[in-house]
Structure 1
Amino acid sequence: MQKKHYLITGTAGFIGFHLAQRLLQEGHSVVGFDGMTKYYDPRLKERRHAILSEFGTFTPVIGMLEDKAVLDKAASYDKPDVIVHLAAQAGVRYSLENPKAYVDSNLIGTWNMLELAKEHRPEHLLIASTSSIYGSNEKIPFAEIDRADEPMTLYAATKKSGELMAHSYAHLHKIPTTAFRFFTVYGPWGRPDMALFKFVDSILRGQAIDIYGEGKMSRDFTYIDDLIEGIVRLMRVMPGENNRVTNIDTLSQHAPFRVVNIGGGQPVELMKFVETVEQAVGRPALRNMLPMQQGDVPRTYAAPELLEALTEFRPDIPVAVGVQKFVEWYTSYLAEVEIR
């Protein structure tokens, strides 16, 4: 296998950490860029980077996406063959509290990354998007060719805007670009603001868990290993006419640009998810039933056919298996050192 140089943003984050670790284990070199922001406890991010730093081919660079000079420094270490832009201000609900963070990171930061790609000409640029851009679409499952023009939060609006900006750069500068839409990713080293982390933490502490929407929502959960497999396989599929997939493809007619869901198409009802967590933890949860929060959507449901057609892969790790692995990680490591 040819060894490549990767520039990945967000390597101290949940997904970026796992992707960088996979590529480093395969013998590639990775320059990892991260802002170490305080959206959640930076100590968790520092531990992720510490693990990656055990590889001699990992180079960490700390800085904000809004700082183009620091991004340029990151790209100067190794001319990147592939750029994967994962860093972003995440969180649907936090966008109601601090919208400027989303404009700075997800709009200005993404524009800086596109400028970087224009200057360095990677063989493939991959950009993270989200299932949140589908809003409250009533047509299910959510297919990439469906309209996604009614975002319910600023977070979703900034991610859709990132897709549009990336398309324009792919067209103007002929940069092969793939944007992938994530569906509720979970697993070891996950974010503390995500439901699974909160549920496990609260159950173990004997505290009530908040269940929004009266438990009537559903989510298409994607275990982290499945997500990383999907990303790695998509890296090898540069958008172009030689790999167009008939009527389900989003390959642009004007640019080497494509949007792809990474999700298994197996949504799970929230109450079933809670029961799965209870079984993995080994004790029942105290349940605090609440109305749906502002910005929430009733369901997410990926159409995985395009991903499978391009990569011969679709996420299939059952939620029960993934939740058990998360609980084992949490109880054996995170709970012991009490990082929050």
Structure 2
Amino acid sequence: MPLDRHVPGIVDVATKAGVSLSTVSRVLSGRVRVSDELRVKVEAAVAELGYRPNAAAQSLVSGRRSTVAVFARNTIRYGYAATLQGIEEAARAAGYVVVIAVVESGDPDDIARSVNNALSHPLAGAIVIEFDKVGVATLAALPSTLPVVAAAGARRASGETPHAFLDDAAGGYEATRYLLSLGHTTVHHLAIPATKPRSGRAWGWRKALQEADAPIPPVVQASYSPTSGYDSAQKLTGDPSITALLCGNDELAIGAARAFQEVGRRVPQDISIVGFDDQPFARMWMPALTTVRQDFVDLGRRTFGLLEEWLTENRHPADSAVTPTLVVRESSAAPPRQRETA
């Protein structure tokens, strides 16, 4: 026997209640007063049929658009997923519906496809998670007539699009200063891909070394995964002079730690390793990972807050930035020669 997959609509509600479509619309919107008798009939029909008005229908009835599109290159990696969580929680609390538009790549056709699909919804506004070059390109492709805000890690001067920042350059700066304060002569850097030159955690790392007049080693470029951290760290494991390593995220850090341990370099006795993000596993790793804590859920909430301010107050909001915090655990220590002479 075939299943009845009919989804009840407003016509079904009107028929069940024995009232007109306009009466159902008035009851659902709450904007026009109707008699208690009619309201009870409509509400009973809605409950019996299990009717759920969609966002498009609600916007037509109420005149208020309540759908927000979120554009992201990735929805699985920790920073992206936690930011999405913050956006969705804040949007739901404010009465908005979130639709996620995954942008497959930086190819202009992929970007245009995602943007056009999202714009087919009655959008109140949009948010771009600008953690990568795809996010930068997506932001540039959105129409200027749509309220758009963005979440980003690398802080920069204010522009046309309101941003909520993590200011990861400040985090990279603080982590490097901390390692230098332990007595390391310099700090090497295993980097994630940057969205823009002269920005982000790598820029903070470089600034701290310059201020300390410390040698600035070449950046070792990696991706995001532990495997990438392990593979890229192979370029460093043969150099016994390397005593401190700042990694672009926690996953790179655990991959790099494995690479050094395999050649007999202990963490932190022989090499200090510092991660970035403070993912949930960081404090459970052995040794527990020293890292830079970034609150991505808060970033998501702050980003939606900018959009909500724009929509409710009809004004261009100011950027929002929060400085990350260094969390010192067990994977960092003074360099071996200092411990031997102490």
Same structural fold, with TM-score higher than 0.5 when normalized by the shorter chain: no
What's the TM-score once normalised by structure 2's chain length? Answer: 0.36
What's the TM-score once normalised by structure 1's chain length? Answer: 0.36
Larger Rg: 2
Structure with higher RCO (Cα < 8 A, 6+ apart)? 1
